[in-house]
Chain A
Amino acid sequence: MKRNDIIRIVGLSGYALFLVLSLALGFDPGKEIGRNFLSFSLAMLKILPGAFILIGLFEVWVKRETIEKHFGEKSGIRGYVWAILLSSTTVGGIYVAFPIAYSLYCKGARLGVIFTYLGAAAICRVPMTIFEASFLGIKFSAIRLLVSIPLVVGTSMLLGSYLAKRNYKLAAGR
């Protein structure tokens, strides 16, 4: 067993023990943390199975050539545009975007494009932006998008080419 696994198991059992003891002894902060844990787990369970089913179907049905053509080395600027459009439809939060970005990478998307996808999934999701505009105003959302999107694309290109030069490869089989 690796050292990290041991740390994880000790941490998990400590956390579980803390919750059980808090419940048994009526320790309020512990009960509060337990409630947070439950409500957040439920929120995750509402999204993750659906997202992973779509990822599975993507892996099986979408051809590697298609992804290479639209998101790969030869896609040019179009790859970035596609990444932003795709990201705007992402549900949940950036935690859903990580496995999707990983699948895109495994099918041949270039690094700059997947970092653009990740960044854009954080800031360009359509339902979230509508929500933002209704509470903070359209001007606020417009400035935020116009400033952040070029910065995300630019830094993703730089990060991608820096890592490509260093021969960075993602671990397989995640």
Chain B
Amino acid sequence: MYLYIIAGLAILASLLANRERTRSALKIAAKRFLHIFPAFLTMIILVSIILFLLPDEVISDYLGGDNIFIGVILASFLGSITFMPGFIAFPLSGILLQRGVAYMVLAAFTTTLMMVGVLTAPIEKAYFGMKVTILRNVISFFIALIVAVMIGLFFGEIF
């Protein structure tokens, strides 16, 4: 909501400063939005299908396994291919934590969820091209694995 308060105030300030410039700002906003709209539509469609194939309960089942390393690998793949806003992902992680899922597994899941976006790739590709999209996502995947290992070390879950 505060986004629209800021946007509203910004338009107001801009109007007071210069009517013509504000008009062209809104034109640019509309043009850019329409231009990227197909990529967003593709992402929403992919998300709608993946959310059906991998609902929260299925993800919980996968993460709750016995072997911590298999858990980390599974978690990082699930985190990469699913899409979940933070206000769902973190409460879910909190529940899983209480059920005994390791911090390391949760770190792999939430970090890949945030950083690696297979489903957001259509948008990323439209702006930055295929090569950069792949490079950035692969790098992010490895950063997430390193984060998971460090969390595991600090919480005494490995060694």
Contacts and interface: CB of A to CB of B under 8 A. Distances in A.
Interface of A: 8, 11-12, 15, 29, 32-34, 36-37, 40-41, 43-44, 47-57, 59-61, 91, 93-95, 98-99, 101-102, 115, 118-119, 122-123, 125, 127-128, 131-132, 134-136, 139-140, 143-144, 147-148, 151-152, 155, 159, 163, 168, 170-171, 173-174
B93 interface: yes
Given A33-B52, A52-B33, A57 B90 contact: no
Given A37-B48, A61-B21, A136 B97 contact: yes
Interface in B1-31: 3-4, 6-7, 10-11, 14, 21-22, 24-30
Contacts of A147: 146-147, 150-151
Contacts of B10: 53-54, 57
A15 B41 CA distance: 11
Contacts of B14: 57, 60-61
Contact of A95 (B43, B48, B94, B111): B43
Contacts of A144: 107, 111, 147, 151
Nearest to B119: A95
Chain B contact surface mostly: helix
A51 B85 CA distance: 17
B143 interface: yes
B132 A168 contact: yes
Given A61-B14, A174-B36, A136 B44 contact: no
Interface of B: 3-4, 6-7, 10-11, 14, 21-22, 24-30, 32-33, 35-36, 38, 40-45, 47-49, 51-52, 85-87, 90-91, 93-94, 97, 103, 106-107, 110-111, 114-115, 117, 120, 123-124, 126-129, 132, 135-136, 139-140, 143-144, 146-147, 150-151, 154-155
Contacts of A123: 111, 114-115
17 contacts: A11-B45, A12-B45, A40-B44, A52-B29, A52-B30, A54-B10, A56-B25, A57-B22, A57-B29, A60-B25, A119-B140, A123-B115, A125-B86, A135-B93, A135-B94, A148-B115, A174-B127
B3 A8 contact: no
Contacts of B38: 8
A140 B103 contact: yes
A114 to B, nearest CB: 9
Contact of B115 (A15, A34, A61, A122): A122
B44 to A, nearest CB: 5
A37 B155 CA distance: 39
Contact of A140 (B21, B44, B117, B151): B151
B4 A50 contact: yes
B127 to A, nearest CB: 5
A101 B26 CA distance: 19
